[in-house]
DNA sequence: GCAAAAGTTGACGCGAACGTAAAGCAAAAC
DNA sequence: GTTTTGCTTTACGTTCGCGTCAACTTTTGC
């Protein structure tokens, strides 16, 4: 799959893909000079974009990707990856709890505002 | 409450508080030249920091704050605020759904990695 | 075979969200 | 009473995550 096809599939620009590659988040094969993306690359990109929506930095995401398909077989490296991942998991569970509360409150606020707006419009 | 007290309470720098003020996210009183923060300011700052953890921009957050305690009484303004807030709510619910799935998967990955690590250490 | 399209590597630019250093004022401590 | 402490504004600097040329090669269509 070419870079253009990837861009259309995931709604990103070529610049973005090359940038992620420069940060070692993806590493497509080369046919001559051109890049070729396979299933693994697509899976990684999907995770990258998801991680971004959760507010993680690209460096955080890079570490998570190590867990999802490891390149390093060093034992201490793996342990470090696990530890970093545990931290991300803690971030995510806390965020989930906060989200639940925040969503509930936001719904109520919107409801109030809607009623207030209706009152204003009538009288 | 002085700027320094705010900083300690919320673990931010004075620069950050002044920056948020310049973006009209908070507007503390003045005693002479000095800033004084009240309960309302603290509530707003709490929401700001929470919004940031959810990955919202300061501009997104500014619009949400309008909903939480409105300054504008203009009807069309209120309607716009409600609409923007609905969008944020949609973002948040989607993020919540994604988070649930992602947390589940990450837990499994960590579990796998831990078992793998144990195997390596033994053999 | 040759132009156009698609891809490549620099390199500089940019907005967001602050960091940081400089220079000054003002109340408070000694 | 002057030195320290705490806050102020002004302004330039920095990092992240790309956007945007520019200049070049490579592949593809006709």
Percent of chain A with pLDDT over 70: 99
Average pLDDT, chain A: 93
pLDDT at B56: 93
Across residues B12-20, what is the average pLDDT? 97
Q: Which CATH class is domain A1-56?
A: mainly alpha
Q: Of B100, B30, B111, which Cα lies nearest the Cα of A103?
A: B100
Q: What is the pLDDT of residues B65-95, one digit of tens each?
A: 999 887 777 899 899 999 999 999 999 999 9
CB contact under 8 A, B55 and A55: yes
- Judge whether residue B37 has pLDDT over 80: yes
| Domain boundaries along the sequence of chain B | 3-122
- Judge whether residue A71 has pLDDT over 90: no
User: For strand D, is any atom closer than 7 Å to the CB of A27?
Assistant: no
Q: Of A86, A81, A99, which Cα lies nearest the Cα of B103?
A: A86
pLDDT at B74: 85
pLDDT at A98: 95
Average pLDDT, chain B: 93
Dist. CA A13–CA B27, nearest whole Å: 39
- Judge whether residue A72 has pLDDT over 90: no
Tell me which CATH code domain B3-122 carries.
1.10.1660.10
SS3 assignment, position B54: coil
Across residues A70-88, what is the average pLDDT? 87
Mutate to test the interface with B, among A46, A47, A73, A78 (most CBs of B within 10 A): A78
Across residues A17-46, what is the average pLDDT? 95
- Nucleotide with the nearest C1' to A34 CA: C7
pLDDT at B79: 92
- Which residues contact residue A116 at a Cβ distance below 8 angstroms, ignoring those fewer than 6 apart? B78
- Judge whether residue A85 has pLDDT over 90: yes
Which among B92, B102, B120 has the least Cβ separation from residue A99? B92
CB B51 within 8 Å of CB B72: no
Q: Helix H segments across B13-74? A: 14-22, 39-53, 58-68
CB B84 within 8 Å of CB A52: no
Residues of B in contact with A120 (CB under 8 A): 75, 78
pLDDT at B48: 97
């Amino acid at each position: 799959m070419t870079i253009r096809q990837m861009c259309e599939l995931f709604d990103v620009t070529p610049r973005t893909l090359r940038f992620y590659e420069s940060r070692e988040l993806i590493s497509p094969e080369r046919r001559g000079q051109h890049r070729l993306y396979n299933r693994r690359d697509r899976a990684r990109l999907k995770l990258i974009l998801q991680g971004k929506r959760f507010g993680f930095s690209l460096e955080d995401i890079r570490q998570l990707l190590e867990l999802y398909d490891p390149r390093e077989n060093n034992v201490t490296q793996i342990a470090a990856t696990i530890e970093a991942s545990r931290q991300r998991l803690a971030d995510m569970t806390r965020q989930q709890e906060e989200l639940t509360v925040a969503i509930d409150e936001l719904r109520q606020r919107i409801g109030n505002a809607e009623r207030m707006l209706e009152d204003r419009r009538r009288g």
